[in-house]
Structure 1
């Protein structure tokens, strides 16, 4: 940590930059069931929410008045493949997929407010990325870990088809090939080893060296919170 601090101070001694943004949770439904997640809800739960265009615009206009420059769209991964009620909600509004709805909400926010959309919708194909690139300034997906071991029963990513490391790496790589500015990162404390943490960071480093598109790397720590499957799991230490 001392060495990292010295390198940081040598390059950017006292400059901290930031961009004001509004968080727009387009839907908190998801087909994955990560053991540490507090964002995702099930249909019928009091906190389950899919934002209408009116709700999206209300948030965006309020953010614009507050001086925000970006709109960060966050959502669960492909909930229409799991929940018929949500699939019906989309179809009534003329959409077959969550990504198609996201595309139009990004376009709406930019046209109406000028806020720059950033999208974080999970696993994406080349076609998905190309489509969303038309209406967003940047995109992201947390790599989380390169450990496929965590997909096993009893581990953090069991029953999570979108947490297969190779799929997430492929999304990051495809974004690089399409020259999309990209945010990613790792989770620590979800059952990975120290070596797997390092391997995950090097996987990100290698993709950035190849394509030069990684704009941000997040190190996110696990927190044990009530109501999650990993509520009794230990939290990671600083080192």
Structure 2
């Protein structure tokens, strides 16, 4: 469309009044080159919902196996059986590694894996049960909807029964992965498994019915177009209207190393910020939008906090999914102090949360911290 001030004024008014944006509105927003205006609109919505707060948690990532029967075009993580760098952890190894990663205030283990062709179904609830016994105060956020769909095939159980067994073993939340892009024309070119929108949404719907709160993701910046991103978030918005079970939306930036799409350029920072802004504006029924700093870089992640994001994820360790697509230069880990500094430096107040988005600890906002540091200190004789 040809952007003009009348259209901008119309959308500004809709956003200010809290009116739901349409598919056409979303596509028009992606066509807008006024990034400052777009950011201001998204920031007004994130501020309306979450004030000047940026959430984070203390988490660790645990990938039980990188062996996968699928060969998705975007993936740098999967290995075939017998590959020299393929691995699969025994249950005892997984528990030992999780205990070694335990840190002060750890509240969450995030577990995703390849679709291992020979591991038995019972391995998965067993590993959850053993991890929960070893770390009883740590929430287990585990498995994508793609993995749960695969567990149906492995076990012969329905997804509902699979979820019941996993919940009984300690599962507190699914992960949001496996979403990629829902549009079939794009999806069939990048995904090499049979979990598509119908099953992804079915499994998250079941999880929500069982009381789980889950995240939702979108892998962007590969072969999709802006209209596919709009379609993706509209599907999520409709499902959220139905269940209310999504806690957070997480745009994930495609990385182009060591995969079959390596000829593509990664999304530029301007496209990253536009994606966050439009997503925040379209997803009026989502409480939070997370910028996963591992996939976006630290500086761009800070900027995204002014374009709709209100969560910076956590003090991730060993995030193999992206770091196997090497060369981006982000660290494997940020400490709590690192995160506090990044959030305050961007002008926001940090709040530490758990998996359920319950606030565990509040920290001084940047102004209060600066004021306290500037105050003269009393010296006692």
TM-score band (shorter)?
Answer: 0.7 to 0.9
Partner of 2:267: 236
CA distance in 1: counterparts of 2:133 and 2:84, whole angstroms: 32
Alpha carbons of structure 1 residues 34 and 204: separation in structure 2 relative to 1, 3 Å: same
State the Cα deviation string for residues 21-79 of structure 1 (Å, max 9, x = none): 111101111222111111111122232111112221122212334431111111113x2
Tell whether the 8 Å contact from 1:76 to 1:122 is kept in structure 2 after alignment. no
- Of residues 168, 176, 182, the one that matches 1:146 is 182
Tell whether the 8 Å contact from 1:25 to 1:75 is kept in structure 2 after alignment. yes
Structure ID, larger Rg: 2
State the Cα deviation string for residues 193-239 of structure 1 (Å, max 9, x = none): 211111111111111121111112110111211x3111102323414
Partner of 2:49: 11
Tell whether the 8 Å contact from 2:63 to 2:111 is kept in structure 1 after alignment. yes
Q: Is 1:29 the equivalent of 2:60?
A: no
Tell whether the 8 Å contact from 2:64 to 2:112 is kept in structure 1 after alignment. yes
Partner of 2:232: 200
State the Cα deviation string for residues 130-167 of structure 1 (Å, max 9, x = none): 22122211112332222111344xx222xx12342222
Give the alignment's Cα RMSD to 1 decimal: 1.8
1:48-127 equivalent positions in 2, closer than 5 A: 48-77=86-115, 79-80=116-117, 87=118, 90=119, 96-97=120-121, 100-114=122-136, 115-123=138-146, 124=148, 125-127=159-161
1:38-53 equivalent positions in 2, closer than 5 A: 38-53=76-91
Tell whether the 8 Å contact from 2:142 to 2:174 is kept in structure 1 after alignment. yes
Partner of 1:84: none
Structure 2 runs not aligned, ≥5 long: 1-38, 149-158, 275-381
Partner of 2:163: 129
Alpha carbons of structure 1 residues 168 and 190: separation in structure 2 relative to 1, 3 Å: farther
Q: Does the residue aligned with 1:175 lie in a helix, a strand or coil?
A: helix
Question: Given the two structures, how large is their TM-score scaled by the length of structure 2?
Answer: 0.54
Tell whether the 8 Å contact from 1:118 to 1:138 is kept in structure 2 after alignment. yes
After TM superposition, give the deviation of residue 117 of structure 1 in Å.
Answer: 0.9
Partner of 2:222: 190
1:164-183 equivalent positions in 2, closer than 5 A: 164-183=196-215
Structure 1 runs not aligned, ≥5 long: 81-86, 91-95
Partner of 1:216: 248
Question: Given the two structures, how large is their TM-score scaled by the length of structure 1?
Answer: 0.84
Q: Is 1:156 the equivalent of 2:190?
A: yes
State the Cα deviation string for residues 77-126 of structure 1 (Å, max 9, x = none): 3x22xxxxxx2xx4xxxxx32xx212111111111122221112443222
Alpha carbons of structure 1 residues 229 and 163: separation in structure 2 relative to 1, 3 Å: farther
CA distance in 2: counterparts of 1:59 and 1:66, whole angstroms: 16
